[in-house]
Each structure stands twice: as C-alpha cells, then as structure tokens.
Structure 1
Amino acid sequence: MKKVLSLLVVLVLIVSAFSGCSATNNTSSETKKTEDVKVAPADTKTDEASKEEPKKDVLTIALSADITSLDPQGHNDTKSERVSFLLFNRLFRLDTDFKVVPDLADTWSQASDTEWIIKIKEGVKFSDGSEMTSEDVKFSLERSMTMPKVKHVLSEVKSVEIVDKYTVKITTKTAFAPFLYTLVHAGTSILPKAYVESDDNFKNPIGSGPYKFVSWDSGDKVVLERNDNYFDENNMGQMSKIVFKIIPEGTSRTIALETGEVDIVDELQTIDIKKVKENSDLKLYETPSTRVDFFAMNNEKKPFDNQKVRQAMNYAIDKDAIMAVAIDGAGTPAKSVLAPSMLGYKASDYSYDPEKAKSLLKEAGYPDGFEMTIWASGDERKRIAEVIQANLMDIGVKSTIEMYEWGTYIDLLMKGEEQTLVLGWSSNPDPDSTLTPLYYSGNIGGMNFSRINNPKVDQLIESARKELDIDKRIKIYNELHTYIMDQAPIVPLFVKNNVTGANANLKDVELSPQGLWNIEKIHF
C-alpha cells in the first residue's frame, strides 16, 4: 500500500510539472480570452453596448433585370434609370409629389413662348474634379437629341446656345407646354464633355451625382460609392455604398429580402405581399402608379396591319384574369393608353367579349384565326403572355411565346422584328412623356413599339404639345384617347400598383407614382 501511495504522489508531481510548463511557456488563445474576461470590470451598460450590431452602411437593392447601359442617354428603362439618377444630375428633377423642382438649375425664365434662359449652379464638380459649365450642358442636350433611345425627349428643341459660363438659352420649335417635364428625364443628364469625347465609352462613367461608379458585373451587380464632394448638401448620399443586385426570379428576390441578403425589393411580387406584411423584420410600401402594362401589336406586320384584327384582340383578352394571375389583383384594369390619373384621360368601351372578337376576325378575313408569336421578358410578363395565349385559343388564334433577356429584348423591339409583345411604361405626370415616345410616328425605330404611323394621331399629339391653355389641352387629349383606342395599336392591360418590400429598419423610404424614389436619402 505504501508503494502504491508513493507512486501516485510521484505521478501527481509529474503532471503538475508539465501543466506548469505549458501555462508558462505556451499560453493558448483560450487562456488569454479567459484571463481577459476575469480582469474586465463588471459594467452592465458596457456589456449591452458590446452586443449591439454596428450600423449598416451599405444598402443593397434587388433588381429584376440587369441594367442595359451606364450611359444615361443610351437607355430608356427603369432599371438603368435607378443607377443613372444616382450617378448623374439633370437641370430639373421630380419630387415625390411629381412636381418639377430644380436640380442643377439655379434660375430659369422664359424670354418668349419658345425661349428659355437657364442658369446652372456655380461650382458643381464632376466626380473627376472638373467643374461643370454651360459647355457641358449644351453638349449633353445636343447629344441627347441624337441618341436613338432618348432622342424623342428633346425632339421639340430647336437649338441650345451658350450665354455665358453658367447660362444657356434653349429655343423650342414651337410653344411647348411640357418643356420642363422633359428636362427631368434621365436622357437629359448633364455629362462632362471631355469624358464623353474620351475613349472610355462609359466603362467608368463620370457624373456629378450623389454617388460615384465603382463596378458593374454584368448579370450580377452594380456597385456605387458615396460622392462626399456632392454639391447639394440637402440631397447627399446617406450610405457609403449602394449595391444593385440582379435577381431575375421573383421568389428568389423575396427570399433574399427575408434572409437579409438585400434590403429592398422594389419590384416585389404581388403574391409575396402577405409574406412581407406578416414579417415584423420587413415593411411593405404600396402606392398607385402611372404605369400601364400593355400587349402591343406590330402595326406594320400581318395580320396586325388590319384595324379589325387589332380591335378583336381588345375584345379577346381577359384583363381581370391577367391581373389575378400576373399581379395577384394589385392594380386596376387599363382602359386606354394612359393611366386614369393622367391629364385628359378618357376610357374606351372595350370589354372582354370573345364572340365579338370572333366576329371582327371574320370581318377581317380570318374566320379560322391565324398563328402568331408573343414576345416577353421576365417572370411577370411571361405569366401575362400565358393568359393571353389561352384567351386567344378561345377565338381560334394559336400563339407561341418567346422569352428574351431584358437588354436584348429592348434592342430587338426597337428593330421591329416582333409580331406582338408585352411591356409596361411608367411616365411622369405629363401625357406627352408617354404619347410621343410610344405613338408618334417619328419614334418608329425608337420607343414606338407598336410602330403605329397615323397622321391624325401625330397631329393630335403635336397640337396638345403646343397648347398652353390647360382646358384646351385636355379636350385635345380626350379626342386623342377616343381616336387612338379605335385604331387599337395596343391592348391596355392594367395599371399596376407600385409594391416595394424593405428592411423594416430602413428610414426615409418613399414611393412616388413611378416607384422607388430618392434612393440617396434612404438610410438605416
């Protein structure tokens, strides 16, 4: 027994010796952490503060499709516009109440019905440090007038002249009622002349906006960083970076919002409204809009060169069914080429009537129907196309659906290669911003996707643009609505509500009738 006890004592001494060596010569990170905790003074307030997460300084927004260009005069779509509005400034902009307010413009006046004198703010710097002058303004506006996707915006401008270093005179061809509204369009962004004339070709765009360009990984994301030298202190960027994440599939966008991968989904699927409402970490924003989704027919191609065929389509398509399937009822049926909130709106008499559609097809020489294709881009428009496809089968018309990537889709539509298409158009409050690009014959090859070429439509559009008396202008638009819907270049489908899902911790999120607004002001 004594021998056993002696051996145990020896073993204990050996183990103790080795433990001592380890503690002295090889202190582990675990030991350090333990020691730190032991010596830290007990302070409840400090403890709680250490648990708080640092304030997020990067805002991530999900887009349903990639942008088409970093050149603000090289695109005319809302996805690209989101980025352009942060990188570039215009002479004027819209506030959330859709009022025209100055952006780069400092003062402005009319010398006559056709002459505008506009002075820009002095000392505005582009992100490369160069100062903006009237030479940049003249260059940018004249360039806009030549760019295919936006040339319609300033089509009424006759000339732009330099008055002095910060002042230009813009002369319109005639009196032009919606002139200031045209100057809020992304296509009128003011660019540095020296940069555009360089050979960079908008790989690293230079602008004067509240954010600067960092990178564009096509199909994945666009990254911007705050411009700390921005000239407008009241509209400074609130986040260090803004990331536009491209997530084409609607359900995936909502999941990304739920998991915190993104902070905003500005085209929330209407079927996911309930999910967002019931999630305390998220917040839903919903407002009426000026956007009209429509089914357009290429008026230059058979059988849609026939007015009766186009009228038949207006009776054949069930708008209520489309709204139920595509947008879960979050909108109202469209009855004309403009939204009801627009100046001079007048509803058409079309209703869902397949028998009337069949009768019109028979009169047009197609008693047995015909075959056609429907072009679309994106999940929502695919669902719209599928309902239209089913509706047309009921009147003997067989259709196939062809899907395209967004950028490719717009480029092909401008070439007029489609038979029919599904699209949406968001507008500022002046009717001309919809009617001229979409229905004026001079914009065939541009945004006139139905390729309607009708002298009376042109004449009414021109008359309304020149008329400065608001009551007379309304009467012209009333007549235009009645006439153009009789010509039936499109089938108006619905006026969709703007629906945005966002992280509930975000502040200053605002929606205008055109959707997400003033992104630069959003913050945590």
Structure 2
Amino acid sequence: MLQRTTVVLTLCFAMPVMAKDLSIAVASAVTAIDPHYHNLSSNFSVAMNVFDRLIDQDAQQRLVPGLAVSWAAVDETTWEFHLRPGVTFHDGSAFEAEDVAASLRRVPWVPNSPGSYEVYTRAITEIVVVDPLTLRLKTAAPAPLLPVDLSSIDIISRRFEKASTADFNNGTATIGTGPFRFVSYASGDRVQLRRNEAYWGPAPAWDNATIRMIPASGVRIAALLSGDVQVIDNVPPGDAKHLAANGTMRVVSTRSNSVLFLHMDSFRDQTPMVTDRAGQPLPANPFKDVRVRRALSLAIDRQTLTERLMEGAAAPASQLLADGFFGVSPRLRPDRYDPEAARKLLAEAGYPDGFSLTIAGPNNRYLNDAKVVQAIAPMLIRVGIEAKVATFPWSVFITQAGPPHYAYSVFLAGNSSTTGEASFPLRAQFATVNRETGMGSSNRARYSNPEVDRVLTEAMRTVDDGKREALLQRVAEIAMADQAVVPLFYQDNVFASRIGYRYTPRSDGFVSAAMVSPE
C-alpha cells in the first residue's frame, strides 16, 4: 500500500513535465516573421524556432555546427562549407547548397528593411555551388569573421528567394528546416508553432509552442505565476528575488553580451547642453580634453550602480564586452571610484569650479535606464559638475542622438555583441564613422582616433585567430586609455520558469521553445 501511494505522488509531481504544450512570454515585440527583414533580436529569437543557420552559436555564443557540419578558409579570400546531409524543409524538400545561395542573395534584396542583415553578407563577392552539399564563398579581401557573420543568417528554401515579407508573415513562405513549423502570427500578440517531427537535430519536447509578446514586466510575471505561461525573459532584479523565493518557480541568469556606457561628445569644438556654472556657454568643448573624460569615469561609483540599482544583476565594466568573450582585453579593469582624483583632473584641465551639463538618456530602452541616469547625476555633482537629467522615450531619443542632430553632449547608450566577440562593438562604437564601410555605425559621439582605426582594420584582415584576438585587445586598450566612452556595467540576462521546465540562459538573451526542456 505504501509503494502504491509513492507511485501516485511521483506521477502527480511529473505532471508539468508531461505537458505537451509550452507558452513563453517575451518582453520585446516581433516586427516580422520574415527572417531577413529586420535585424532585431526579438525577430531573430522567434526565427530560431522555424529556421536554421549554416553555423550556430551555443549559449555562450561560441560557434557550433548547424546546417554546415564543417567550414574552413581554403585561401585568404575563399571559405568552403560542407553541408549536413539528409536535412529536409518542412514541406519535405531536400536542403541543399542552392538554398544557402538563395538565402544569401535574398538578404540585400529584401525591400523596405528598417534594419538590414546585409551587414553580415556585405563581404561576399561570389557564391559558388560546388555540389549539393558543398558551397564556397569568395570575398574581395580576407574576411576572418565570415563564419561569425553567417551565424546570424537564417536559411530559407530557394523557392522563396523572391517572396515578400507579407508571404512570410502569413505563413506562405515560412518553410524552414528548424525544430518547429510555423502555424500563425498575430502582430503584437503571439506566434504559434507546431513540432517538426522530421527535425534533423534533437527532437523538441513540445507538440505545440506559443510565444506571447508581453512588454509590461508586471503582466509577464503575473502570467507566469498564474500558469498562463511557463517561461519568461527580462525579469527585473527585484522581481527575480521574489520569484526565486517562490517554491514553484526557478530563476536562472548569465552574464550578457550587453554593456551600458556614457557617450561623450569629443568631436565638436562647441557642444550643446554644457555651460559654465552661471549658465553661459563655455569657450571650448570640455570633452575634447581626455582629463575631463577621465574625471567623469572616476566620479562614477559602479559598485553602487550594480549592487543597489541593479540589485546584483550586473557587474562593473572596463570595456565594451565582459571577460570571457573573444577579443576582450584581460589587462583592462573597471575604473575605481575616486572623486578626489576626479576633482584634481578637472582642475588640471582648467575647470577648478567645474561646469554644468545635462545627461540625456532613454527611459524605455534598457533595464532601469532612466534610473541609471538619475543615479549618475549626484555622483557628478559631488566632484563639482552640476548635472541635470533629461530622459526621453527611445523613439525620440535615438532620432536626436545621432545624425543629423547630434543633440546631446553626454548620454547613456548600450551595445550588444550579436557576434559574441569584441570586433562587433569595437567597430560600431570606436571606429571613425564611415558610412561606406559601415564602420562606426553606432558611434553617435563621433569619437575618432587614427590609431584605433589602423589596428582595427588590421584585425579585420587577420585570419589567424590568436593574432586577431591580440589586435582586438589592443584596440580596446587604446580606446579606453583615450576614455572613448565611460563603461558603466555589464548586464545579466535573467529568466524565470515554473518548476518542471528547464531553460539554459544565453548571453545573447535569446529564448526559443526548443531551448526549453522538461525536468
């Protein structure tokens, strides 16, 4: 009798594991199902359920085989890829090299893209289909990061090379090789999926999966607590503590590929939103002096930001990417909090009485973004810089921060390395702005240093991984000695799930139904 009771209890405990359906709530909205339309993390995260890539990234963004089982540089300007045999699309057609070629041709063709994936295919000058399972990609110059770039390109069936974004959104063209088949998409609400029984990889645990878009964290958490969903992303630090104390919930986190930092206008001779203490324009832009930029960094107490404001879900930053990623310099450490040294540097730079400035930032883009700006202001005041705060909705802030306005002198910004290595943020933030090459694409403060450009250009031509990593480390060291930005902290990606559901957190923050398994 005792043995029978034990069996019944075990079966009851296992009930969540035996569930056939899964619901995930995500904070960011999906703008399209078309995997080549909008280079947006929320879109890519959903596409991972339906489509595969030649090369995948694991949870820490290291490259692993996907639809390509191997790849190698056969010479300085040619990469060869050997494809996985026996893979089929959801419609039963065989996956072959021609499908990869069609996908790569489609990327720059997609009309009206608000954020093209072309940045990942721009280096390719020729696509050569050697045979159904062998592909060669040629480039005009050495392209050591091409495998990394291709880990962001989803592969579609060649039948849909000229399909419209609408055809993908309504499901007509949404035929991939991924773990789930597309069922439906309701803009701003949800994406519904069904298991691909013929998937070449590990079989998904769920017959059906729903990805719901719930931007409000309180509503997302309520859906988890009620059981309407089983997994959520972007859990605020305070809520994470409460969920972790709940015996029916599990909270997991990992260091992300994201950093928050302050941009400073070191480009213009005169800069807006900066005056003397009486409100009069300064004769020169103070941020052109590295001592002033350095003073701002020393004035900021990163430990307070990470421990109190972020409640431990962040770590002080020394550069644009955290330790452990390829290309990160081990010789850089977060600046210490030293208000006395900051005041001394300001005096040496000719500002013994400080000056006044306004720190700008978004108020709905990054976790606690407005609170971060508000916390920094009194830190600057303590060293003699009279700091005010101005925060705006992201849609307003981003149009004013960059060209043609460049409306801010000091402002909060963020960066995520989608490639999982240092060249991506270094190219975006530290390279001199060059629209033809795409360098400096997010360098809204227009920082420029010829030596940074020279070493970074050399790194981007270097195929040898060890040599390229040393060059990327050198770029970071030069830029940070120049105080190109003021790094604040690296964020953690925090997820929560109900007991019975296990999810391994990723540094890129992506979550898909195939990544959730029963315990």
TM beyond 0.5: yes
Quick one: percent identity of the two aligned structures? 24
Residue 163 of structure 1, aligned match among 127, 130, 133? 130
2:169 maps to amino acid = K
Counterpart mapping for 1:455-474 below 5 A: 455-474=450-469
Determine the structure 1 residue equivalent to 2:311: 328
Length, aligned pairs only:
475
User: What is the CA deviation profile of residues 468-495 of structure 1, one whole-angstrom value per residue up to 9, with x for unaligned ones?
Assistant: 4444334323321221113434322112
Determine the structure 2 residue equivalent to 1:104: 67
How far does residue 335 in structure 1 lie from its aligned partner after superposition? 0.9
Residue 194 of structure 2, aligned match among 220, 226, 249? 226
**Distance 1:330-1:468 versus aligned 2 partners, 3 A rule:** same
2:324 maps to amino acid = S
- 2:267–2:288: 8 Å Cα contact kept in structure 1? no
TM normalised by structure 1 equals 0.77
Using the TM superposition, name which of 281-290 and 303-312 deviates more: 303-312
Gaps of 5+ in 1: 1-42
How far does residue 252 in structure 1 lie from its aligned partner after superposition? 3.3
- 2:24–2:513: 8 Å Cα contact kept in structure 1? no
Counterpart mapping for 1:348-359 below 5 A: 350-354=335-339
Asked if 1:271 is matched to 2:238, the reply is: yes
Determine the structure 1 residue equivalent to 2:413: 422
SS of the counterpart of 2:148? helix
Once residues 108 and 86 of structure 1 are traced to their aligned partners in structure 2, the CA distance between those partners, rounded to angstroms, is 24
Determine the structure 2 residue equivalent to 1:87: 50
User: What is the CA deviation profile of residues 346-393 of structure 1, one whole-angstrom value per residue up to 9, with x for unaligned ones?
Assistant: 315733345655666674889532335322424522322322344445
Residue 185 of structure 2, aligned match among 216, 229, 233? 216
Determine the structure 2 residue equivalent to 1:398: 388
- 1:437–1:447: 8 Å Cα contact kept in structure 2? yes
- 2:426–2:476: 8 Å Cα contact kept in structure 1? no
TM normalised by structure 2 equals 0.78
SS of the counterpart of 1:152? helix
Residue 370 of structure 1, aligned match among 343, 347, 357? 357
**Distance 1:50-1:462 versus aligned 2 partners, 3 A rule:** closer
SS of the counterpart of 2:452? helix
**Distance 1:101-1:283 versus aligned 2 partners, 3 A rule:** same
**Distance 1:133-1:411 versus aligned 2 partners, 3 A rule:** farther
Gaps of 5+ in 2: 273-284
Asked if 1:306 is matched to 2:267, the reply is: no
**Distance 1:51-1:491 versus aligned 2 partners, 3 A rule:** closer
Determine the structure 2 residue equivalent to 1:510: 504
Determine the structure 2 residue equivalent to 1:433: 424
Once residues 130 and 369 of structure 1 are traced to their aligned partners in structure 2, the CA distance between those partners, rounded to angstroms, is 65
SS of the counterpart of 1:443? coil
Once residues 352 and 52 of structure 1 are traced to their aligned partners in structure 2, the CA distance between those partners, rounded to angstroms, is 51
Once residues 216 and 433 of structure 1 are traced to their aligned partners in structure 2, the CA distance between those partners, rounded to angstroms, is 31
Once residues 33 and 318 of structure 2 are traced to their aligned partners in structure 1, the CA distance between those partners, rounded to angstroms, is 35
SS of the counterpart of 1:244? strand
Determine the structure 1 residue equivalent to 2:492: 497
How far does residue 412 in structure 1 lie from its aligned partner after superposition? 7.5
**Distance 1:52-1:288 versus aligned 2 partners, 3 A rule:** closer
How far does residue 341 in structure 1 lie from its aligned partner after superposition? 1.6
Determine the structure 1 residue equivalent to 2:302: 319
Structure that is richer in helix per residue: 1
Counterpart mapping for 1:111-190 below 5 A: 111-122=74-85, 124-128=87-91, 130-144=93-107, 148-185=115-152, 188-190=153-155
Once residues 344 and 34 of structure 2 are traced to their aligned partners in structure 1, the CA distance between those partners, rounded to angstroms, is 48
Once residues 217 and 56 of structure 1 are traced to their aligned partners in structure 2, the CA distance between those partners, rounded to angstroms, is 24
**Distance 1:298-1:215 versus aligned 2 partners, 3 A rule:** farther
SS of the counterpart of 2:117? coil
